Amino acid sequence: VAALVSVGVATLADPGGATPVVLGSGVAEDVLPPLVEDPNEYIVGFDALPEGVEVGATYEGAEVLRVVGPELAWALFDVADAPAFLATVSDDPNVRYVERNRLVRFDPGPLVPSPAVAQGGSPEGQSAEGPGDSAGGGLAYEPEDDFYGLQYGPQLIGADEAWKLTTGSTSDTGVCVVDTGVRDTHEDLRSVSPSHWRDYRNGRADPYDDNGHGTHVAGIATARIDNGKGIAGMAQVTLYAAKVLRADGSFLVADYASIGEAIRWCADRSRDHLVINLSLGGAAFTQDTPQAIGDQIDYAYDTRGRLLVAAAGNDGPCSACITWPAKHENVIAVTNIDWNMEFYSGSSRDSRYAELAAPGVSILSTDRGSDSHYTYGTGTSMAAPHVAGALALAWSHPDNHDLSNAELWARARATAKDLGPAGHDGYYGHGMVDAKCLVERNPYPIRNPAAEAGPGTGEVTLTWTKPIRTCGTIRGYRIYRAPAGGSYTQIAEVLAPIRTYTDSGLSNGTTYNYRVRARNDYGTSYYTKSLSVTTFAKPSAPRSPNAAPGDAVGRIEVTWSAPSSDGGSPITEYRVYRSASPSGTETKVGTVSGSARSWMDTGRLAGLTQYYRIRAINVLGGSPYSAQVCSKPNPSLSGVC
Ligand SMILES: [Ca+2]
Ligand SMILES: [Ca+2]
Ligand SMILES: [Ca+2]
132 C-alpha to center of ligand 2: Å?
Answer: 30
Q: List CB-based neighbours of ion ligand 2 within 5 Å.
A: 331, 333
Reported as half-sphere exposure (CB side, CA atoms, 13 A), residue 391 has a value of 36
The whole-number pLDDT of residue 286 equals 78
CB 269 within 8 A of CB 304: no
Q: Is the pLDDT of residue 34 over 90?
A: no
Ligand nearest to the CA of 226: 1
For residues 222 and 456, give the distance between their C-alpha atoms in angstroms, rounded to a whole number: 55
The whole-number pLDDT of residue 576 equals 98
For residues 77 and 405, give the distance between their C-alpha atoms in angstroms, rounded to a whole number: 33
Ligand nearest to the CA of 281: 2
Confidence of residue 113 (pLDDT cuts 50, 70, 90): low
Name the least confident of 16-30, 80-94, 316-330, 589-603: 16-30
Name the least confident of 23-27, 84-88, 137-141: 23-27
| Average pLDDT over the chain, rounded to an integer | 90
Per cent of the chain over pLDDT 70 is 89
Confidence of residue 140 (pLDDT cuts 50, 70, 90): confident
pLDDT tens across 388-446, in order?
A: 999 999 999 999 999 999 999 999 999 999 999 999 999 999 999 999 999 999 999 99
For residues 586 and 577, give the distance between their C-alpha atoms in angstroms, rounded to a whole number: 6
pLDDT tens across 359-378, in order?
A: 999 999 999 989 999 999 99
- Which pTM does this prediction carry? 0.83
Ligand nearest to the CA of 374: 1
Confidence of residue 17 (pLDDT cuts 50, 70, 90): very low
425 C-alpha to center of ligand 3: Å?
Answer: 5
pLDDT tens across 466-523, in order?
A: 999 999 999 999 999 999 999 999 999 999 999 999 999 999 999 999 999 999 999 9
How many residues would you count in the chain?
A: 641
CB 292 within 8 A of CB 284: no
Question: For the chain, how big is the Rg over CA atoms in Å?
Answer: 36
Confidence of residue 6 (pLDDT cuts 50, 70, 90): very low
26 C-alpha to center of ligand 2: Å?
Answer: 25
69 C-alpha to center of ligand 2: Å?
Answer: 23
Reduced to 3 states (helix: H, G, I; strand: E, B; else coil), residue 178 is strand
455 C-alpha to center of ligand 1: Å?
Answer: 50
Ligand nearest to the CA of 186: 1
91, amino acid identity:
D
DSSP state of 557: E
The average pLDDT across 177-205 equals 97
The whole-number pLDDT of residue 1 equals 29
315 C-alpha to center of ligand 2: Å?
Answer: 17
234 C-alpha to center of ligand 2: Å?
Answer: 22
Catalytic amino acids?
A: 179, 213, 381
Ligand nearest to the CA of 416: 3
312 C-alpha to center of ligand 2: Å?
Answer: 9
